[in-house]
A = this chain, B = another copy of it.
Amino acid sequence: MDDVAVSAPGREACVRLDAENPLASLRDRFRMPRDVIYMCGNSLGPVPVGVPERMRRAVEVEWTDDVVRAWSSAGWHVAPERVGARIARLIGAADDEVIVADSTSVNLFKLLVAALRKNAGRKVIVVERGDFPTDMYVASGVAELLGGEVRMVRPDERAGAIDESVAVVALSEVKYRTARGYDMRAMTRAVQDVGALMLWDLCHSAGVMEIALNDCNADYAVGCGYKYLNGGPGAPSYSFVAKRHQADLRQPLTGWHGHAAPFAFVDDYAPAAGMARLRCGTSPQFSLIALEAALEAFDGVDLKAVRVRSEQLTSLFIDLFDAHLVSRGFGLVTPREVERRGSQVSIAHAEAYAIMQALLAKGVIGDLRAPDVLRFGLAPMYVRCVDVFDTVAALVEIVDGRVYERAEYRQPGKVI
């Protein structure tokens, strides 16, 4: 990158920024993959150092020695509540307002049905185009089942769409594709002002910024365990329900682990008190144990400081974008205003597909969202300023050398 008259930092400046990073040592909490620059923590986080030994113990000690007794002796039974409490501290909730169970999609289903039942008489679920598709898919499944209506709006239509017919609004705090972020407090208030309930999807925000669910008076939330929480592939998801909504919460997936007395084995269903009623079947323990061990990477970490580092990384990426990528046919997808974006930078290019293939071949791991968006997750606990610099430099090389024109990068089906 030898563009003349560039105001963005050079590589040496980036090395200096990393040396001055007060959170630099957090990177040692991860087994970073060798020989690559990992910019995909917004899809799947890397391995926190405590996980392998914890998993070995779960399989080779707890299961092997205690077998069924480990449900008690190793605390497997109460893991959904215990891990939920750990996550609660990362998202501004009380320990007994969060539980880990099932996938994000299944949890969205539970809470959207609960919201329609709570807000009886209203039938509309508002979701936003461009949010992660499962939010829209699950909303449509719920509406079909209950005779509800999904109002799927563009961001510019949203304000007009939230009226007194709306039962619940489901929005991602940070959008998966653009990294655009919402003001949780203002949006929650606007939704509640018309008597609707607010459900936040935290998949792309939890772990990289302060989240204050209770301080913002959120009603419900769901989130994912395997992105910035680093819980491993398909780690179970969590649900948040504000204390004020717990007593009359009616979720439809009435499995035995959500029963008031699951081991009494009675014929009739009676929901457990509190968040336990959001449990359904038996939790996939190994995936839950991996998530629990992964969360230790957050021990003693101040999310305010994490957000400062996140802003430094995304701002640096955008400065380098302005200096080197605009002139090479890239467009900026992520908002420029720092307070309106999450911990990711997305850029667009007409040759995005082939460019991402070429980038992967160079050992820079980002991903593509068809047709033309390249996404880079800047997880502030382990991504460095030099990683951002080297990523942009690799993009420059690929474009200047027309590397993306090679046939091997144009084959379909290889993208991640």
Which of A's residues lie within 8 Å of B, judged by CB? 31, 33-34, 38, 40, 43-47, 51-52, 55-56, 59-60, 63-72, 76, 102-106, 109, 113, 129-130, 132-134, 136-138, 140-142, 144-146, 152, 177, 224, 226, 232-237, 252-257, 259, 262-269, 280-288, 290, 360, 365, 367, 369-370, 416
A43–B66 alpha-carbon span in the complex (Å):
13
Contact A233 B40 (CB under 8 A): no
- 7 pairs of A and B residues whose beta carbons are closest in the complex: A103-B281, A105-B255, A284-B287, A141-B254, A105-B281, A233-B285, A134-B256
Partner of A106, one of B38, B68, B106, B140: B106
Question: In the complex, what residues of B have CB within 8 A of residue A232's CB?
Answer: 59, 63, 285-286
Question: In the complex, what residues of B have CB within 8 A of residue A262's CB?
Answer: 133
Contact B265 A235 (CB under 8 A): no
Contact B52 A253 (CB under 8 A): no
Contact B369 A265 (CB under 8 A): yes
Known: A51-B59, A253-B138, A254-B138. A34 touches B284 (CB 8 A): no
Known: A68-B40, A152-B267. A137 touches B177 (CB 8 A): no
A45-B67, A145-B145, A233-B282 known; 8 new pairs, CB 8 Å cut-off, are A51-B59, A52-B60, A63-B233, A69-B365, A133-B266, A137-B254, A234-B286, A284-B284
Question: In the complex, what residues of B have CB within 8 A of residue A235's CB?
Answer: 284
Known: A72-B416, A259-B137. A234 touches B33 (CB 8 A): no
A234–B286 alpha-carbon span in the complex (Å):
8
Max count, chain B CB within 10 A of own CB: residue among A34, A287, A370: A287
Nearest CB of B to A309, in Å: 21
Contact B103 A282 (CB under 8 A): yes
Nearest CB of B to A121, in Å: 17
Partner of A33, one of B65, B133, B224: B65
Question: In the complex, what residues of B have CB within 8 A of residue A152's CB?
Answer: 267
Q: How many copies of this chain sit in the oligomeric assembly?
A: 2
A284–B284 alpha-carbon span in the complex (Å):
7
A283–B141 alpha-carbon span in the complex (Å):
19
Known: A47-B64, A68-B367, A145-B145. A136 touches B269 (CB 8 A): yes
Contact A63 B47 (CB under 8 A): yes
Question: In the complex, what residues of B have CB within 8 A of residue A70's CB?
Answer: 233
Contact A43 B68 (CB under 8 A): yes
A66–B32 alpha-carbon span in the complex (Å):
10
Contact B133 A259 (CB under 8 A): yes
Contact B146 A55 (CB under 8 A): no
- By beta carbon, the residue of chain B nearest A42 is B68
Partner of A256, one of B67, B133, B367: B133
Known: A68-B367, A145-B145, A233-B76. A102 touches B106 (CB 8 A): yes
Max count, chain B CB within 10 A of own CB: residue among A72, A113, A137: A137
- By beta carbon, the residue of chain B nearest A368 is B263
